[in-house]
A and B are shown apart, each in its own frame.
Chain A
Amino acid sequence: MSGSLVHNLVRRLAYAFISIVGVAALVFVLLRMVPGNPVATLLGEHADNETVERISSSLGLDQPLPVQFANYVLGALHGDFGESYTLGKPVSELIGPAFLNTLWLAIAAALVAWVVGIACGLLAAIRKGTVVDRLFMGFSLLGVSLPVFMVAMLLQYLFARYLHWLPVAGITDWTGYILPAIALGWGSAGSIARLVRSSVIEVLQQDYIDTARAKGRTNTQVLVLHALRNAMLPVITLMAMQFSGLLSGAVITETIFSINGIGRLSVQAIAGRDIPLLQGTTLLCTFVIVMGNLVADLLYNVCDPRVRKGA
């Protein structure tokens, strides 16, 4: 019933909210447990104690931790994540454009991963045991096991430095996204291909596939109309979870290809001990991952009538 679907949604949203607040608190505490005063670092070696204390108190750093956290959460609820120590701008203004860049990269990488992964997995499944199957599965193993930076540098070397087809790094137009998207999506494509393959093979063994053939469906129709939807159920979940992974885990790709995204911003924040900025990017990534899991769950619910009802 739709009643239980709504109930389900509310419960999951509550869990999601609790997860985000929990992670925020954890990050908040951890960042303040790092030895040394960030203000002292910020002002340099020659700052006198008085100045450090004055600035600390103006930033609210002299207050007890729970109070600081409460202030932070209150601010965050209004979109105020504090001001970056190193860049002198509100964190929200820095994160916005960076997130957009990361979003484009993640979408491009997801497209690569989904199209390549699903196509290869499907082909391998229907050509099970043939050369095509072994070739694709070998490739996907490479995809899963090669580190991103290696794929990235190989691509840069081949398509940018050697063939001069695409820019080496930096984004001036959409072509700048091609190589980073492949580098980032490559590994996901490999795991999607493997899952699609095993899932399709398993579904094709099911009794209802015989039923569909007994009705007079051709093999292609059976695959498209009966096997695919059922085989995609576990894959959809993986894709949704991977997408949040692509959004929050593009640090290496963004660095190698000089894309001003969240990953790169986080690295900058760590280097500069920029606590508000790092807190902001971490919180954003947490949000993205929790939402990704939520969407994965809901998608599964929508696609599989068997879980739609109960649970």
Chain B
Amino acid sequence: MTHSTLEVSHLYTSFFTEHGEVRAVQDVSLAVGRGQVVGIVGESGCGKSMVARSVMGLVRKPGKIVSGRILLKGRELTSLSEQELCTIRGRDISMVFQEPMTSLNPTMRVGRQVQEVVTIHEDVPKQEARRRALEALGAVGIPEVEARYDAYPHELSGGLRQRVMIAMAMVMRPRLLIADEPTTALDATVETQIIALIKQLAETGTSVLIISHNLGVIAQLADYVYVMYAGRVVERASVLDLFDHPLHPYTRGLLGAVSSLRGQSKTLQTIPGVVPNLAHLPAGCSFAPRCDRCVARCASEQPELVTVGSGHEVRCHLAKGADAV
């Protein structure tokens, strides 16, 4: 049996704060196949980053994985020791963070920060590590790599820093690259370049989990999309299905926000209301308070994730029997 690169099943991750348990991730299952690009989309605070951090084993206190399984090429990660995880991070899975401005060590030359990844995982001479770091920096389109190698992060632009982050993530040729809002902090032109770069990486066989609050970014990159709301997956579909037949009212809301941008309407259409407090979730559907189609059942009963078509799943009472909505 062949395994997906990444299989997450029934993941629960919570923060245990003085205000109670904040359920950042609830019952999230997802799979990323070999060479696939899978997207997670959702408003800020929906638990996207916590899914990524759970996979990396980098959930900070007072957060922790409560239950669930995370399989990398069939290998269970949640039961590994910290020491074992260290051999996997950076080599088999790597991650690019949202803020290129603050994600690089300000007092270390960027080349050394890339080279470091090689020396952590392989016992190679310094010259060889340097050569591979230079190669990785060149591969992500950094001009004049020899000179940039000795630059400090503050001497580089945001776009270049994010390229350094990607070089760092790719230098070991990991099976899985997790990119958490890699373009959110960048301007539109640079965003386009970074998206093209990630696409190029995926074409070389790396599986990518791309996280964004921006459906536009997801649409350009992903094959499959998971829509997250308040810690849960509320819809999952191929990109085409999701854009052609969005089933969850939340997804439609997100799409509305995008298409109103495309149609250059003057007002940005957003979903009214805010993401609920994850420490005190409503009994029924978490989206019910903001949903314009909400019925009585929605407020009392948590909907299950149901399959409505090939590879299309949705968590909504109204979606049963496919296009009943």
User: A residues near B, CB below 8 A?
Assistant: 206-208, 210-219, 226, 229-230, 233, 303-306, 309
How far is it, in angstroms, between the C-alpha of A229 and the C-alpha of B155 when the chains are bound?
19
Contact at A211–B165, with CB atoms within 8 Å?
Answer: yes
Check if B102 is an interface residue, CB within 8 A of chain A: yes
- A306 and B152 CA atoms in complex are apart in Å by 8
- Residues from chain B with Cβ under 8 Å of A229 in the complex: 107-108
Q: Are A207 and B117 in contact (CB under 8 A)?
A: no
Chain A residue at smallest Cβ distance from B178: A214
A309 to B154, CA, bound (A): 10
Contact A217 B86 (CB under 8 A): yes
CB closest residue in chain A, given B154:
A306
Contact between chains at A208 and B106 (CB < 8 Å): yes
Residue B199 at the chain A interface, CB threshold 8 Å = no
The 8 A CB mask of B95-131 against A (1 = contact, 0 = none) is 1010100111111100001001100110000000000
Question: Contacts A218-B83, A305-B152, A305-B154 known; A212 to B58 CB distance under 8 Å?
Answer: no
B148 at the interface (CB under 8 A from A): no
B106 touches A230 (CB 8 A): yes
Contact of A304 among B83, B107, B120 (CB under 8 A): B107
Q: Does B90 contact A (CB under 8 A)?
A: yes
Q: How far is the CA of A215 from the CA of B99 in the complex (A)?
A: 16
Size bracket of the B interface: 20 to 34
Q: Once the chains bind, are B106 and A215 in contact (CB under 8 Å)?
A: no
Question: Cβ of A215 and Cβ of B107 under 8 Å apart?
Answer: no
User: Nearest chain B CB to A201's CB is how many angstroms away?
Assistant: 12
- Contact in complex: A215, B117 (CB < 8 Å): yes
A211: chain B residues at CB < 8 Å are: 97, 103-105, 113, 165, 168
**Do residues B105 and A208 form an inter-chain contact, with CB atoms below 8 A?**
yes
- Report chain B residues within 8 Å CB of A304: 106-107
B312, CB-defined interface residue at 8 Å: no
Among the listed B82, B105, B116, B152, which residue makes an inter-chain contact with A230, where contact means beta carbons less than 8 Å apart? Answer: B105
Central interface residue in A208, A214, A218, by most chain B CB within 10 Å:
A214
Q: Please determine whether A206 and B102 come into contact, CB atoms closer than 8 angstroms.
A: yes
Interface of A is mostly: helix
Contact with A along B128-172 (1 / 0, CB 8 A): 000000000000000000000000101100000000010011000
Report if A218-B152 is in contact (Cβ < 8 Å); known contacts: A206-B102, A207-B102. no
Complex Cα distance, B95 from A213, in Å, reads 10
Complex Cα spacing A309 to B106, Å: 13
B87 at the interface (CB under 8 A from A): yes
Enumerate 29 A-B pairs (CB-CB under 8 Å) in ascending A order. A207-B103, A208-B103, A208-B105, A208-B106, A210-B103, A211-B104, A211-B113, A211-B168, A212-B105, A214-B56, A214-B58, A214-B94, A214-B97, A215-B116, A216-B88, A216-B120, A217-B116, A217-B120, A218-B86, A219-B82, A226-B105, A226-B108, A229-B108, A230-B105, A303-B107, A304-B106, A304-B107, A305-B107, A309-B155
Interface contact B107-A216, CB-CB below 8 Å: no
Q: Is the CB of B99 within 8 A of A207?
A: yes
Which residues of chain B have C-beta atoms less than 8 A from A214's C-beta? 56, 58, 89-90, 94-95, 97, 169
A305 to B107, CA, bound (A): 6
User: What distance in Å separates the Cβ of B2 from its nearest Cβ neighbour in chain A?
Assistant: 26
Asked whether B23 is an interface residue with its Cβ less than 8 Å from the other chain, the reply is: no
Chain A residues lying within 8 Å of B155, measured Cβ to Cβ, are 309
Q: Does B48 sit at the interface, judged by CB under 8 A?
A: no
Verify if B91 is at the interface (C-beta below 8 Å from A): yes
Residue of A nearest to B120 (CB): A216
A231 to chain B, nearest CB (A): 10
What residues of A have a CB within 8 angstroms of the CB of B97 in the complex? 207, 210-211, 214
Cα of A105 to Cα of B136 in the assembled complex, Å? 53
Q: How far is the CB of A117 from chain B (nearest CB, A)?
A: 21
Distance between Cα atoms of A208 and B154 in the complex (Å): 13
Residues of chain B contacted by A217 (CB below 8 angstroms): 86, 116, 120
Shortest B176–chain A CB gap in Å is: 12
Distance A206 CA – B58 CA, assembled complex (angstroms):
13
Distance of A210 Cα from B63 Cα, bound (Å): 15
Q: Separation in Å of the A177 CB from the closest CB of chain B? A: 35
Min Cβ gap B47→A in Å is 17
| Known contacts A211-B97, A211-B165, A305-B152: A218-B82 contact under CB 8 Å | yes
